[in-house]
Amino acid sequence: MARRRIAGVTVPLFSLRSRSDWGVGEIGALAAHAEWLATSGARLVQILPPHELAGGETSPYGARTAFGLDPIYVSLGDVPELDASAVDAALGHDGRAALARAREASAVDYAVVRELKTRALSVAFDRFVERELLRGTARARELEAFARAEAGWLRDYALYVALSGSHGGWGWTTWPEAERDRAGSVLATAESPDPRTPLGRGVLEVYYRQWIAFSQWSEARARLRTLGVELMGDLPFIVGSESADVWASRSMFRRDVSLGAPPDDFSADGQDWGLPAYDFVHHAAESIDFLRARVRHAARLYDRFRIDHVVGLFRMWLWTTESGKKVGRFDPPAEPHQEARGREVLAAIVEEAREARVIAEDLGVIPPFVRSTLAALSVPGYKILPWERNDAFEYHDPKAFSALSVASYSTHDTHPITAWWDELEGWERERLGALARVPESATATQREMALLDLLFGAGSDLALTLAQELTGDRGRVNLPGTVGPHNWTYRLGAPVEALAGDAALAERFARIRSLVELHGRG
């Protein structure tokens, strides 16, 4: 993919809204949103990880699979086995009322939406078995071909989900020994699932849902290509202990430690994420092969993707308990070994990505050797304008940013600049405002246009905005270090059909597009 200066927009998949959605963003709505966002001059849409979440989880970084798409994002109106009568039968009066509330809600209610979509997809699968699978139709053969092509990850994942369901959602460490330790007789169920047995039927239903989801994803990607809009994704650093990947490949992961981050200016006690760690010491080859498989998968899903927590490829901060006290340390401890590991792992990722672009999330405390390795491999990192300052607290001019970088005011873990501006210290607003040439007594819109002008003028090849910064919204996606319904539930203010028809918003987008074009992004 040839390098070029473009503008992009970050918007989580769950945040998309359309008049036909079920209270959460859907795969089928990607193209309509990309077309609308493109009127602002954007030629790239970045989403957060779309992989299936663990039960009760809302964070896209809490998935129970590194590969499978979350069926919650399936556009049910595009499922051949579903029609209005089937949906009505699946939902019933209570379900229809819940669906109406979910559609109107300003935030995603994962529990309600997942339960409703599960009902509908179960009806769709039952119809598929009766009408297609048992009759050996062409459509049944398409599912079989998909299952064979994706067997490298799909068999383990489908079996894990089916087994988990058979045990009421309890974790794999509590399962009977044969299932917990993957006996051959158990694995055979996923190789030739029999729809006449409960477990075989459960495996087939996972196959079906993933087939539907990936088919819709392929159609959405094709439509984005016709629009000339790239899709950028996100590669989480690791999966949780309660995941199909750890169950299937537990020797590659250390579950005797907890992955996190060391103490710094933002967290005096450090951070404990409660995640396993890669066992690079004893299983480096297998761990790198796992990462290679994830990268190949990501390269199929996206044109570009961001590597979350890239410093973790060089060194991981691991928490353990020693003599009743919580202790943290780097793995590996010595910097030469950290640099060597990161160079090896990152080089493998870049090689496996092939035509897809790799971007590194290199925010926070990053050793110099990390950024020198990124530069040597031509992997861009991030430049968050409010954080780009020298020791005298003077802002760096974005025009001087390297082309090999991503410029942005914000991430999904910060306020959009539309709200962040008000939280900056007075001197910060004064200095950033002077750099952006914000007029005195500027209105909010004038200030936002000046700030976007500064961003789009950056030397970085890619300039990213949050969707909220384009629309003038102040909503936040996530507040790190907190748990609650305010995180990971943000939805756009209206369905895309209404947003695209909003005259005032169209005028704002036209002004933004002129800035994009002024700075040679297209």
pLDDT value at 1 more than 60: no
Which pLDDT does position 463 carry in this prediction? Answer: 98
pLDDT value at 265 more than 80: no
Which pLDDT does position 269 carry in this prediction? Answer: 87
Render pLDDT for 61-86 as a digit per residue (tens, 0 to 9): 989 999 999 999 999 999 999 999 99
pLDDT value at 166 more than 70: yes
Mean pLDDT of 381-392: 96
Render pLDDT for 178-200 as a digit per residue (tens, 0 to 9): 999 999 999 999 999 999 999 99
Which pLDDT does position 267 carry in this prediction? Answer: 81
Which pLDDT does position 2 carry in this prediction? Answer: 60
Which pLDDT does position 54 carry in this prediction? Answer: 86
Mean pLDDT of 204-213: 98
User: Residue 440 contacts by C-beta under 8 Å, 6 or more apart in sequence?
Assistant: none
Quote the pTM value: 0.96
Instruction: Count CB-CB contacts under 10 A for residue 102.
Output: 19
pLDDT value at 351 more than 70: yes
pLDDT value at 354 more than 90: yes
DSSP assignment of 177-240, as one string?
HHHHTT-HHHHHHHHS--TTSHHHHHHHHHHHHHHHHHHHHHHHHHHHHHHT-EEEEEE-S---
Which pLDDT does position 255 carry in this prediction? Answer: 95
Which pLDDT does position 504 carry in this prediction? Answer: 98
Contacts 24+ apart (CB under 8 A), 441-448: 444/418, 444/472, 445/472, 445/508, 447/421, 448/417, 448/418, 448/472
Closest Cα to residue 66, out of 154, 151, 149, 147?
Answer: 154
Which pLDDT does position 22 carry in this prediction? Answer: 98
pLDDT band at 358 (very low <50, low <70, confident <90, very high): very high
**Residue 16 near residue 72 (C-beta atoms within 8 A):** no
- C-alpha distances in angstroms, 514 versus 273, 449, 469, 510, 522? 42, 10, 16, 6, 11
Which pLDDT does position 483 carry in this prediction? Answer: 87
Q: What percent of the chain has pLDDT over 70?
A: 99
pLDDT value at 242 more than 90: yes
Q: For the chain, what is the mean pLDDT?
A: 96
pLDDT value at 288 more than 60: yes
